[in-house]
Amino acid sequence: MKKGMIVAVLFVLTGISFIGYGLFEKISMDRKTEAALKDAVSITKGMGGKDVPDKKERPKKPDDFAPEIGEVVGLLKIPRLEAELPIVEGTDPAELEKGVGHFKGASFPGEEGQIVFSGHRDTVFLRLGELEIGDKFYVNMPYGEYMYEIYDSKIVDEDDRTVITLQKEKEDLLLTTCYPFTLTGAAPERYILYAKPVDSR
């Protein structure tokens, strides 16, 4: 076999290997997300489908609610995208393989402060860019259901440290993912959606 042919075959085999590995990783991640979703639905059972209380009567987060890293903590429901996504404590790669990650140290629904949810732009937040100002979504926790409305969006540098403040003055929720959405590889920016708590009326 000629040297050129050998090189071509090696390139093809290498490409197939990369594709196969990527497909394996995608299937593995999908299975982890599916398992986490079942857990999320189970722990929030009975919280959806009810009238969401007005802002002043929103259920408070129990003082003893302190999930461990990797634990499924809730369910993110986005009607516009027809999506139900598991929320997992932590935002490291292992947690983001399961679903939407809750930034450790950030507030939770039902308490004052900044709530931060992050997800991969090529999995759970693949369609995040389709959401618009005024769109509403729900966060179901084991202790209550909460409605939020998107009021702003922003694109920032990946190293911007002014977005996640972990302030404790008022309830505010951020959905974050890498940007641009269509870029392959490491993304230089972050896409942020800001949402405020609202009542059901």
- Residue numbers annotated as active site: 120, 178
Residue identified by tokens 């050998």 is 6
Sign of CA dihedral 66, 32, 155, 129: negative
CA distance linking residue 196 with residue 136, whole number of Å: 9
Structure tokens given for 184: 């392959």
What CA–CA distance (Å, rounded) separates 177 from 201? Answer: 30
Residue holding tokens 């075959």?
A: 9
Tokens of 17: 């290997």
Q: Is residue 177 within 8 Å of 125, Cβ to Cβ?
A: yes
Taking the C-alpha atoms of residue 132 and residue 116, their distance in angstroms, rounded to an integer, is 18
Using CA atoms, how far apart are residues 86 and 104, in angstroms rounded to an integer? Answer: 16
Token code pair at residue 105: 């140290």
Q: What is the DSSP letter of 171?
A: -
Please state, in angstroms and rounded to a whole number, the distance separating the CA atoms of residues 109 and 81.
Answer: 21
